Structure 1
Amino acid sequence: MSTESDYFPTWLLSGLLTLAAPACLASDNDVTADQVVSALEKTFGVHQGERRNHTKGTCAVGEFVGSQDARVYSRSALFSGKPVPVVARFSMPGGNPKVPDTARIPRGMALEFRLPDGSLQHMTMLNTPVFGAASPQTFLDDIVAKTPDPATGKPDPEKIKAFKASHPDSLPQAEFLAKHNPPPSWVNSSYFGIHAFKFVNRDNKTTLVRWRFVPEDGEKQLSDDELKSAPKDFLEEKLIDRTRGGPVRWQMVLTIGVPGDNEDNPTLPWPDDRKAVSIGTLTISSATPQKGAECENINFDPLVMTDGIEPSTDPVLLFRSPAYAVSFSKRLNGK
């Protein structure tokens, strides 16, 4: 398996290219990547050498076999019908490395696909069908609202209440989380790409799409009683044990957009009647604690894409890359 140094040039290039993005985005959103990362540090503290967001996580490896049927939509080498090595990371959002696994917050799955020609494809997903912000400004304001009060050491409930009242785009994800208990295992969640993307085929035809990964182990939720009695940390151990018992699989399902479907607001779902096709199988063969493991030093920049897959105009998607680059740079420097 390749080492971090083998892939470092690609990560570094991605970071250098995207560090320039905040300046142009700031004119539209008045938010920079530095501001967001600094806010995360103020809210969750600085944990040296660790991610500023999605700090708590577990590494895994496996492979992806993309269906050649998907090539009607995309010319990406992902859909060759041949196995592609994958490095995965399952995580909890926020900068608290000790956040309990019972927290009513999203779960994340990030994937790095390593193609035969040395190119990479990243996918960073959540187990909620919508995101909690339609703009970088809402994302920043959410973090700021959760900053602990020096007097109590906890977020001020009134500030959080005021944030929700003034940011209606934050509500769809919050409502979903309130109605769905957390899963008993990483393997019992679907993971959504959240954003719209563009698939481009060999004829240069562009199709607006969204994707999700659906678990073959089935979607499950902890009961209210299980949620109360569950230990603080169980997700990592369960994933490791599950993979020891055999491979874990998800089906990649592509939802096909139609003219008029929203492509720039990740808080708005597409209608349920959109065409959906299965275009590949992700198999996770083993998992391990992230310290020293292969996923630990990967910057899962969602704008690292193969030919045949392109970003939409979603401002949150475009902002993630420079924010990831700032965090990644700090980790590289041991900060």
Structure 2
Amino acid sequence: MSRQPPRPPRAIFRLAAIGLVIAILATAFAYVSGWLDPGWLTPDSLIDTLEADTGIHAGYRRNHAKGICVTGEFESNGQAAALSRASVFDPGRRVPVIGRLAIPGPDPNASDAMPPVRSFALLFRLPDNEQWRTAMNAMPVFSVSTPEAFREQLEASQPDPQTGKPDPDKLAAFFQAHPETKPFLAWAKTARRSSSYANIGYNSLNAFRFIDDDGNTHFVRWGVEPEAPFSPMTEAQKQDPDFLSQELRQRLADGPQRWHLIITVAEPGDPTDDATLAWPAERRRIDAGIVTVDSAQSQVDGPCRDINYDPLILPDGIEGSDDPILSARSAAYSESFNRRTREQAEAPNRHQEPQS
């Protein structure tokens, strides 16, 4: 009689839990602009798959459905002006920002205690009607780097009809076949959930190009780092499904919240097309200025409601890189935007503030 190879049950179930996180996050990053068979994965079929798994929450974003609008400004200190001719980096430049803080997932009534990740999207309103839009996540790397791997990840993460959860054996096989997922897995196993939107950093994950006044290219990644010190989610917060938005409003009642915009500059040989690989810690980091948030509004009728935070809407002086996932995000965000705005127009009174 053949023997089945032993498997560590605890490790496999940890993989199942991580798989749930990946399934939620990955829906926003699928590459759907021609690398995959269009009969298998297009913007329509991607969002259809998500809706089939989770149900349709009409009028809401198909991922990061639960969030809160914020407004404020960015003030440049001029330190990044040598790298990019974008007007946002001019010394002393102050521009308004419209942002959105959120948790991943398609359910607008999800508990804030569930996901380890928070997201921060920003729109910078620049002179001459230019905009810079960025969608950042509170994690250091992404889980996969190629369209093919993403397809396999989706397949491995599909919920089992009997349990409603991913099959741990399929996930284990996927991770074994894709060693590039190791940095993400290492982070996910130890990630601590923050007690606030305002005391955690957010990263672009993808690389971009900065173009200077002479036309030279500098590959960069960016993120925002909070002035507020990190503290983990408390036991009391775990019992409150909406603690993140409530806690943020309480903070803002005491004063604005600030993050430093940090630009990390690549050196030759650093990967610019692979969001699973972090750059070395000793890379040059430039503090480009302060993002200040001074007010919060409901996502139902706040200023962020109708904004598609497409990461490829960029001003002169900033361009996309060779990372294929950037095109994925742009296409998936567009399809989600089209669906939810159509639903809002068809039933404008249906979109209510989520109640948990």
Larger Rg: 2
Q: Which moved more, 1:44-53 or 1:170-179?
A: 170-179
1:309 paired to 2:315: no
Letter in 2 for 1:197: F
Find the counterpart in structure 2 of residue 118 from structure 1. 129
Q: Secondary structure at the match of 1:70?
A: coil
- Aligned mates of 1:227, 1:334 — CA distance in 2: 36
Find the counterpart in structure 1 of residue 206 from structure 2. 195
- Alignment map for 1:255-294 (pairs within 5 Å): 255-294=264-303
Q: Shift in Å at residue 23 of structure 1?
A: 4.5
2:208–2:321: 8 Å Cα contact kept in structure 1? yes
Q: Secondary structure at the match of 1:117?
A: helix
- Alignment map for 1:139-218 (pairs within 5 Å): 139-218=150-229
CA offsets per residue over residues 108-163 of structure 1, 9 Å max, x none? Answer: 10001111211111011011111122123434444444433333344433343333
1:51 paired to 2:61: yes
Find the counterpart in structure 1 of residue 100 from structure 2. 89
**1:322 aligned residue (306, 312, 331):** 331
Q: CA RMSD in A?
A: 2.3
- Aligned mates of 2:35, 2:146 — CA distance in 1: 11
Q: Secondary structure at the match of 1:242?
A: helix
Q: Shift in Å at residue 51 of structure 1?
A: 0.8
1:66 paired to 2:49: no
Find the counterpart in structure 1 of residue 113 from structure 2. 102
| Cα separation, partners in 2 of 1:57 and 1:142, compared to 1, 3 Å | farther
Gaps of 5+ in 1: 1-20
Gaps of 5+ in 2: 1-30, 345-356
| Cα separation, partners in 2 of 1:139 and 1:228, compared to 1, 3 Å | farther
Q: Secondary structure at the match of 2:62?
A: coil
Letter in 1 for 2:75: V
Q: Shift in Å at residue 325 of structure 1?
A: 1.0
| Cα separation, partners in 2 of 1:140 and 1:284, compared to 1, 3 Å | farther
- Aligned mates of 1:105, 1:171 — CA distance in 2: 17
Give the alignment's TM-score, normalised by structure 1. 0.86
User: How many residue pairs end up in the alignment?
Assistant: 313
| Cα separation, partners in 2 of 1:326 and 1:104, compared to 1, 3 Å | closer
Letter in 2 for 1:98: N
**2:88 aligned residue (68, 74, 78):** 78
Q: Which moved more, 1:172-181 or 1:49-58?
A: 172-181
| Cα separation, partners in 2 of 1:36 and 1:137, compared to 1, 3 Å | farther
Letter in 2 for 1:329: N
1:196–1:266: 8 Å Cα contact kept in structure 2? yes
Letter in 2 for 1:195: N
Q: Shift in Å at residue 22 of structure 1?
A: 3.9
Find the counterpart in structure 1 of residue 143 from structure 2. 132
CA offsets per residue over residues 225-245 of structure 1, 9 Å max, x none? Answer: x38854222101111111111
Find the counterpart in structure 1 of residue 352 from structure 2. none
Q: Shift in Å at residue 39 of structure 1?
A: 2.2
Letter in 1 for 2:174: F
1:246 paired to 2:247: no
CA offsets per residue over residues 153-211 of structure 1, 9 Å max, x none? Answer: 44433343333333333332232122121100000111011011110011111111111
Q: Shift in Å at residue 99 of structure 1?
A: 2.5
Q: Secondary structure at the match of 1:94?
A: coil
Q: Shift in Å at residue 27 of structure 1?
A: 6.3
**1:34 aligned residue (37, 40, 44):** 44
Find the counterpart in structure 2 of residue 14 from structure 1. none
Q: Secondary structure at the match of 1:317?
A: helix
1:43–1:143: 8 Å Cα contact kept in structure 2? no
Q: Shift in Å at residue 79 of structure 1?
A: 1.0
2:195–2:237: 8 Å Cα contact kept in structure 1? no
